[in-house]
Structure 1
Amino acid sequence: MTSQTSRHASRCDPGPAPRPVRIALRPARSLTALLLPVLLALAAVPVPAAAAIPVAGAQQAQATPEADTAEEAPRFFADLDDLPLMAGLQEMAEASIAFDKPGGRIGEVYAEGAVPAEQVRAFYEEALPHFGWQAVAENRYRRDGESLELEISEAAGVTTLRIALSPTD
């Protein structure tokens, strides 16, 4: 009987306590570091133009110069990069100047193109308020301590735009 008791006791005896398991934790990498290689690989994959992708029930748009300029990405002046440059106008960078002084920014930018002067005026009347500019008089705007003046002239089918920026008096 003792042999049965000892066998039975050995089956129930858990033995020595198990040793604790140690897990080495490494600092987690940032999400950017993990996704950067994936994003770079995706950026290299060519994407077809939206017009080349057929959509059920959609009519194909005709390619016209007006359609091309309407879908053009917004552009901004190089020296005053928070002022939009109207589609159809080309910046005259060689004539532009800009200074960032402690008292505020001072600058003049120029653009020209074969766009009617009234269209240029209408574009800036609509666009500038979206950038926080408030009209204070015809072709004059104010925003955060700055004054902006538009000068639009047209000669021989070419419109010239001058934008002058200065601190508010």
Structure 2
Amino acid sequence: MRTFTSLMGAIALLLLSLGTAQAQGFLSAYEDLPLPPGMTEVTDSGLSFDTPAGRIVEAFARGPLKAGEIIAFYAATLPQLGWTRDSDRQYRRETELLKLDTQAEGRNVVVHFTIAPE
């Protein structure tokens, strides 16, 4: 019984840590699109809805990174998640197209994510 209780406690801690990592490191509107370290989502600024052709998502994130660092992060990360690179700022996965636009805002860079059907 003691082993079972320890195992259940370990599973609970693992699930809590996974939930925390997801809440801090991924877009809320598109749950498997990670954010580079130091970037935070601009909440209540995007949109997400389904169409007959597929879903459309727009989201924004901000942080004290350079645009090149952000683009390099996605070049290294997105292929591991099944995205195919069309260019530095455009990726495809199944029937979806992801576009990344960056804009300087003071000391920060804002990333505009657009995901739409092809």
Q: Per the shorter chain, which TM-score range?
A: 0.7 to 0.9
Deviation at 1:118, TM superposition (A): 1.2
- Give unpaired runs (5+ residues) of structure 2: 14-20
- Is contact 2:103-2:111 (8 Å) kept? yes
Counting only pairs closer than 5 Å after superposition, residues 7-22 of structure 1 correspond to structure 2 as none
Task: Give the structure with the higher percent strand.
Answer: 2
Does 1:161 find its partner at 2:117? no
- Is contact 2:98-2:115 (8 Å) kept? yes
Give the aligned partner of residue 49 of structure 2.
99
Deviation at 1:89, TM superposition (A): 0.5
TM-score, with length taken from structure 2: 0.79
- Is contact 2:71-2:88 (8 Å) kept? no
4+ long deviations beyond 6 Å? none
Does 1:117 find its partner at 2:67? yes
Q: How many residues align?
A: 108
Percent identity, aligned pairs only, is 32
RMSD: 2.6
Inter-CA distance 149–40: structure 2 relative to 1 (3 Å threshold): same
The structure whose Rg is larger is 1
SS at match of 1:165: strand
Deviation at 1:144, TM superposition (A): 0.3
Selected match of 1:133 from 65, 71, 83: 83
The residue type equivalent to 2:56 in the other structure is I
SS at match of 1:124: helix
Give the aligned partner of residue 84 of structure 1.
34
Give the aligned partner of residue 40 of structure 1.
8
SS at match of 2:44: helix
